[in-house]
Structure 1
């Protein structure tokens, strides 16, 4: 594999992995009765429509059919791809759901 082919392969692999990260985020939201597009908009209010997120939302399944995605897994995946603002918003939602009534 020449250098150009290798670079192209690495870029394509990164994009595939990034799409998987977005799908994990979207499915986690569905599993917790949250709107993925709404959370994303809170994290990145200045961004236009995110086609990758829209595609991922279409691929989600009802929470009854989905596998469990732990909070820690989601935060690790978001961190891996540098989505710190989104991780912050997700963390806020996690705290809301784990608060116990006084």
Structure 2
């Protein structure tokens, strides 16, 4: 019985961490005036809409209190195995730096 509780806790902790990763991604997009759902769809064109992403975008649409730097965003995405999304974000970072110059 205790083993099930450990499994449940591990799953709950992963889901909490995943939610934090999504919040950071949404905030990074907000910082750069990018549409998080569009970038996600670019990275994962064959997936259905990510409901957790949609919920967080709607809840955090006007939050700009935290600046997420580019390197941190890429590290977080890669930590969670979101290499496709990290690739799209890296492309956006390159595009944004080109636009600034």
How far apart, CA to CA, are the structure 1 residues paired with 2:49 and 2:23?
Answer: 16
Q: What's the CA shift for 1:61?
A: 4.8
Q: Please name the residue that 2:86 is paired with.
A: 87
| Aligned residues of 2:44 and 2:84 also touching (Cα < 8 A) | yes
Q: Please name the residue that 1:46 is paired with.
A: 46
| Aligned residues of 2:27 and 2:66 also touching (Cα < 8 A) | no
Tell me the TM-score normalized by structure 2: 0.91
Bigger share in helix: 2
Tell me the TM-score normalized by structure 1: 0.91
Q: For each residue in 1:24-50, what CA deviation from the matched residue of structure 2 results, as whole angstroms up to 9, or x when unmatched?
A: 001110110100000000000001111
How far apart, CA to CA, are the structure 1 residues paired with 2:7 and 2:54?
Answer: 27
Q: How many residues align?
A: 100
RMSD: 1.5
How far apart, CA to CA, are the structure 1 residues paired with 2:62 and 2:56?
Answer: 13
Q: Please name the residue that 1:35 is paired with.
A: 35
- Runs of 4+ deviating beyond 3 Å: none
- Point out where structure 1 has 5 or more consecutive residues left out of the alignment: none
